[in-house]
Structure 1
Amino acid sequence: MDYGWCRCSTNETKQDIDRQRRELKKLGIKEENIYWEYVSGSKDYKVEWNRLLSVLKCGDSIATTEVSRLTRSTKQLCEIIEIARTKQIKLIIGTFVVDCTNEIDPMTQGMLLMWGVFAEMEKAIISQRVKSGMANAASKNIAIGRPKTTIENLPSSFLRHYPKYVAKEINVSELARLCDLSRQSIYKYISIYSQKEVGSYVK
């Protein structure tokens, strides 16, 4: 089975994750086999990534657009390569195929790790720029950070499909796919909406 993996750091880059999904579809990956998540590339635990790993079987493949979508940590990249070896699957990065069903040649492994180093370095540069921008904004008393999510600004797609979840017609994963949101965001929005419902009962 061929699976796809997409990742963005935040849902502010929705356009980018849609591009990744389109590119994976062009490679022949079916929509239902594409796993995606809004999470930092260096975070140790990724919910959807672990769901993907749980369904893999020997001979399957994971396709992604670039190494940085898998991780921005060289250490984690080494762990991913080891997982691929253990499960005997293929990693497809863009048009580059890493066949982990057999022994990886030193040149291929060296190239992968070099990509990992560049991805990690890019993250460090971005982080440095963000910190510099935040410091500059703070010095000018400019408010920084995204607006707090409240019941008033929940996504319309969530409000439209949430009743189906309440009626147990769909589960969290299906709700996330219908809303084109991550499971983490869905759990957050459910919590916010539930607080409103509790408040209405108290009144």
Structure 2
Amino acid sequence: MRRAAIYLRVSTDGQTTENQRLELVAVAERSGWEVVEVYEDAGISGAKGRDKRPAFDRLTKDATRRKFDVVMAWSVDRLGRSLQDLVAFLSEVHVLGVDLFLHQQGIDTTTPAGKAMFQMLGVFAEFERSMIQERVKAGLARARSQGKILGRPGVAQPTRQAVLEAKAEGLSIRKIAERVGLSVGAVHGIVSAP
């Protein structure tokens, strides 16, 4: 028998999760699944991250602990409204081998058709990541073509000179870093430069 976890969420205190609960429990019974835990975030927006939704956070941690085999939710927007957070959650449960049942969308990854739909979601997520990378690269290229210097600012010449003088005095890299106010790595880069 599959172990199911139900996730319920409403955005405002004036709303109730009872309709979601009744329908999902009925689906679990029809499917022969045992509901082992109900996670409920009442009065919390789906746009909030995992750290602001305590029940969703517990659900994710319990998925890692393999406390259930399938996550049930009324709708994809109950899990989250941020595409980035949602895709991360879907990828995480997929890697763990936890199935997903979304009532309103008719997605059930315990079936071959549901698994195919889930894989299509992954394809779209990968496409979105590629598009973001291309936009970032294009933005960097535009900035360079306009003469902007990218990356961290370099160390000013007087500071570089102070580092080299301190090294000539025989101070350790750590002591030099403390004296001139740079990181140990930055000092090491200056003293080891040709």
The alignment's TM-score, normalised by the length of structure 2, stands at 0.48
The alignment's TM-score, normalised by the length of structure 1, stands at 0.46
Between structures 1 and 2, the one with greater helix share = 1
* Higher-Rg member (1/2): 2
